[in-house]
Chain A
Amino acid sequence: MNLDPKIPSGPLEDKWKQHLKDVKLVSPNNKRKYSVIVVGTGLAGASAAASLAELGYNVKTFCIQDSARRAHSIAAQGGINAAKNYQNDGDSVWRLFYDTIKGGDYRSREANVYRLAENSNHIIDQAVAQGVPFGREYGGLLDNRSFGGAQVSRTFYSRGQTGQQLLLGAYQAMMKEVHSGKIQNYPRQEMLDLVVVDGKARGIITRNLVSGEIQKWYADAVVLCTGGYGNVFYLSTNAKNSNVTAAWRCHKRGAAFANPCFVQIHPTCIPVSGEYQSKLTLMSESLRNDGRVWVPKAKGDKRKPNDIPEDERYYFLEERYPSFGNLVPRDVASRNAKLVTDDGLGVGETGLAVYLDFRDAIKREGKDVIQAKYGNLFDMYENIADENPYETPMKIFPAVHYTMGGLWVDYNLMSNIPGLFVAGEANFSDHGANRLGASALMQGLSDGYFIIPYTVGNYLADNEFSKVSTDHEAFKEAAETSSKQLDKLLSIQGDKTIIEFHRELGKIMWDKVGISRSKEGLESAISQIRKLREEFWQNVRVPGEAGYYNKYLEYALRLVDYFELAELMALDAIDRNESCGCHLRDEYQSEEGEAIRNDDDYAYVAAWEYLGVNGKLETKLHKEPLEFEFVEMKQRSYK
């Protein structure tokens, strides 16, 4: 397996500029001869599709939702970072780069991250020109806020709906090209396989979710923008339809999967209220600026929070991290919430929650001030949890939020299968072992608007393409494989539902491949996953038929891939004998419970090759060493 990252040589600041000078171009009248498939229409997909179409390529877009506008990028709340330095607080491309690579705990590529920071400014220009209504100051210029503990104010925002506004901008740009005829848009289509001909990605197989028909599509390049895999945990802040299937099927066709164990768990979500819970809702982490996190000191204390006197409260973040207190980074806050609940100190009916208390902030600043800052968040909390956070502390708990891992890509965002490009959360590239707040939107749009259009062109110009039609053997084989799998799922007719299996898988993952992991736990997770997967293929009940709209069949199909991915995540977590970013191994922490990174042995990207599933997942690890020429690797400390 060739995992050459193809990073251009030269100074960090010049790598991308030089690369742009070096990429091959396709002449305008040749562009219309090429076709590109874009799968997924979130920030990365919609922006890539629009930009490629503007250049003159024939683009086909596919998404599982009923409209391209509904991709899960739409739910991003906080904002998008850019190194504009509008606030004159000393921000620069270098600082944004440095914060991002440090925040990722030195498990990402310097060159990729630097390019991301460079592109950040273009994204803001592009979005504003499209009519994205960012927050503005009285003078009419763009406003910024500080986010996620950053020392500069570099976050652009549209109230709490930045993802929505940026996605609508990209979606509208895409619809403009649908209008011009350069994009053929296919909603309600799920990618089931990648078609590889002569070693190149030449098309995809989809299931038309309305008619149930298996369809074949060919192209000269495929751009995968299908998001993350957080739903392997069953409960996450991801949308219900977010899934790993498209990426996983590419993996099965030979694309390496990188750093699958890097999963970000967000500390401030509304806790689970019962078995029926279908998803988790994120509360902005800005709440920790004023809220104090605590649990009762006594186990099983069933008193109402306001009846528990001050000296019987355990403000565990403030006590353990006196200098950062409640503002420790996401991973530290999440981990500590788990520690106290593991000790039996958790609150609420399930015992899986901690308090986030605004009593002191309200006393100090007055209810009006707190309401002005967090009013909409408090309302949202009250609507869901049915408790008034002005009067009684919020209950929060960590939840799976974002996956840094994904398909391996080189500097051109091309996987190790020529012609298969991967952008946005679906690739592994820029966030290392931990993503900073307001960086996901930035990466999706940087990939889609400002990288893919050049690098896809370079690939097309650089290669010869034989004429391929969907009658090719490879298309038939892939379509049949997909069809057979559907039939098999429908034929089992067991007596456990899909959700029961998914819930069980999620519990194994959360308990053993979640906030903290141990070798022992991971090994037992692997055997549990295998057992459950076995049982799934014997005993699942998938309703209905394949020939019409059947959401539970879609669901079952996605679960099939989660079962395999889950095992890979555990394997990856076992392999990584260190704690870094969101990956905390119990064995590798200091006596005070701080993560210990091992740069000598683990400063690499773990890229996994799929070999097959035979009771167990057969896989092979390849390592892409990470070299740090421009920054010094430092240990994080928040004490």
Chain B
Amino acid sequence: MPSIIEAFQSQVGRKILTGLTGFLLLFFVIFHLAGNLAIFGDPDAMNSYSHFLHQLGPLLWIARIGLIIIFVVHAWIGISIWLGKRKARPKDYNVYSSKGGPSKQSLSSRSMAFTGFVLLVFVVIHINTFALGDAGTVVVDGEQMTDIKTLVINTFQNPIYAFGYTFVMILLGAHLGHGIWSAFTSLTLRSPKASATIYTIGAVVAVLLAAGFLFIPLYIYFGGGCEAALINCN
């Protein structure tokens, strides 16, 4: 019997870990989007939410470190699978095409490594821009807190950021389009019927998440920041 560590290093174990971490990241992304949408709420909602998270103190740090570990594991396995691919087929086909039918090969599934890698780079930039970014402060209900909302609005006035983010969010959608179903399959979903349903649901969720995320930068950019109809800055 292999030890648990060995088991998770096997092909099956790695895939289970990918699925597991993928799910956790998916939940994170959903919460993140919910947080983002606070920008359309009460003028102070976004900053209050951010402030609330900051106040969690050590809990926040545990979450952050956990998230980083999950993210690194997910990315690490993804990259190793991508590298293993070459080893398993040193000489590629001259002509290759999918047979269709039950195949889940698509732009989405074939570009998992690429979209994943872009997301990896993106996350670093994203953290640098917002979490470590130069945000001012604001006083809400007598409490001083980071003015993340203004930072977001200012950042997305810049077309490079607005369109860059939009592009990456499309890739996130592509990644999840295959990823959600794949995570279920990796976590041993067997029934072919349920599998078909989940594939469709997964694709819809992927599109909704991507749309949710990319709506914000585009809206800010085209709407002119605080002038935008749905965003209430004061």
Direct contact of A and B (CB under 8 A): no
